[in-house]
């Protein structure tokens, strides 16, 4: 495995997945989305998000007027499909952990979609890292520190790039400012898919 670069405490493997691996992953994700369709989430404040979302795994991350949380089922009531084996292999290979992730959040960015600066903090144990895999169009990723006011820096995430947010960087603020729509030909209609693998380490919401 190639040595990762270090960016703000994140480990970064640019172009880790080659074109064949990216295409194979997209095929596996088509099956995920067929079982658990992408939906348009809203924030707890009622604002529609520009990304569309679904999940694979034991738990899926959801947001609606009731808040940010993990749920055992898709908003339609169907169970989340399993996390693709190739994604699990990447997780175990890069993190060195025996523990499997509970959730593979699938974010789809169409033209104009972005994601505001945030921390990933709905999980029960921040000693586990979050692994991020980018597919399709290039996206401008912004990363800061663990304080909202810390200075940020930006990098373009490209198809096949993998990022591990762990250690002190686990609670770093991060977001996606914009996309270079149709900069990649991986997805025929354009757009970007980002997968984030998370150990949730809490029981699903009982509500």
- Give CA separation, 103 vs 24, 44, 72, in Å: 20, 20, 10
Residues 78-137 that bind ligand SIN (CB under 6 A): 107, 115, 132, 134
Decide which of Fe ion, ligand SIN, none touches 115; Cβ closer than 5 to 8 Å per partner kind.
ligand SIN
Q: Which stretch binds Fe ion (CB under 5 A): 2-10, 63-71, 117-125, 184-192?
A: 117-125
- Give CA separation, 105 vs 69, 73, 150, 200, in Å: 12, 13, 26, 11
Q: How far is the CB of 136 from ligand SIN (least distance, A)?
A: 11
For residue 165, state whether it binds ligand SIN (rule: CB under 6 A). no
Which residues are 52's β-sheet partners? 108
Spatial contact of 181 and 111, defined as CB atoms under 8 Å apart: yes
Task: Kindly tell me which residue out of 54, 55, 184, 196 binds ligand SIN, with binding defined by CB under 6 A.
Answer: 196
For residue 197, state whether it binds ligand SIN (rule: CB under 6 A). no
Q: Which stretch binds Fe ion (CB under 5 A): 28-36, 104-112, 118-126, 183-191?
A: 118-126
The sign of the dihedral angle between the CA atoms of 111, 113, 114, 120 is: negative
Nearer to Fe ion, 23 or 168 (CB): 168
Q: How far is the CB of 120 from ligand SIN (least distance, A)?
A: 6
For residue 174, state whether it binds ligand SIN (rule: CB under 6 A). yes
Spatial contact of 87 and 31, defined as CB atoms under 8 Å apart: no
CA 83 and chain centroid, separation: 13
Report residue 154: phi and psi, to 5°: -125, 150
For residue 176, state whether it binds ligand SIN (rule: CB under 6 A). yes
Spatial contact of 57 and 51, defined as CB atoms under 8 Å apart: no
Spatial contact of 130 and 167, defined as CB atoms under 8 Å apart: no
Nearer to ligand SIN, 98 or 174 (CB): 174
Q: Which residues bind ligand SIN (CB under 6 A)?
A: 107, 115, 132, 134, 141, 157, 174, 176, 194, 196
């Amino acid at each position: 495995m190639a040595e990762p670069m270090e960016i703000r405490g994140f480990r970064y493997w640019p172009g880790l997945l080659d074109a064949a691996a990216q295409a194979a992953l997209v095929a596996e994700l088509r099956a995920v989305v067929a079982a658990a369709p992408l939906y348009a989430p809203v924030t707890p404040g009622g604002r529609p998000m520009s990304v569309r979302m679904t999940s694979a795994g034991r738990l899926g991350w959801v947001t609606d007027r009731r808040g940010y949380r993990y749920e055992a089922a898709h908003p339609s009531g169907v169970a989340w499909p399993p996390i693709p084996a190739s994604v699990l292999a990447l997780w175990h290979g890069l993190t060195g952990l025996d523990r499997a992730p509970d959730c593979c959040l699938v974010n789809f960015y169409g033209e104009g979609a972005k994601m505001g600066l945030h921390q990933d903090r709905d999980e029960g144990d921040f000693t586990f890292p979050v692994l991020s895999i980018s597919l399709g169009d290039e996206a401008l990723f912004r990363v800061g520190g663990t304080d909202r006011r810390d200075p940020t820096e930006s990098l373009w995430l490209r198809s096949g790039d993998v990022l591990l947010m762990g250690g002190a960087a686990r609670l770093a603020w991060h977001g996606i400012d914009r996309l270079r729509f149709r900069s990649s030909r991986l997805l025929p209609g354009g757009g970007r898919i980002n997968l984030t693998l998370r150990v949730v380490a809490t029981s699903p919401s009982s509500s």
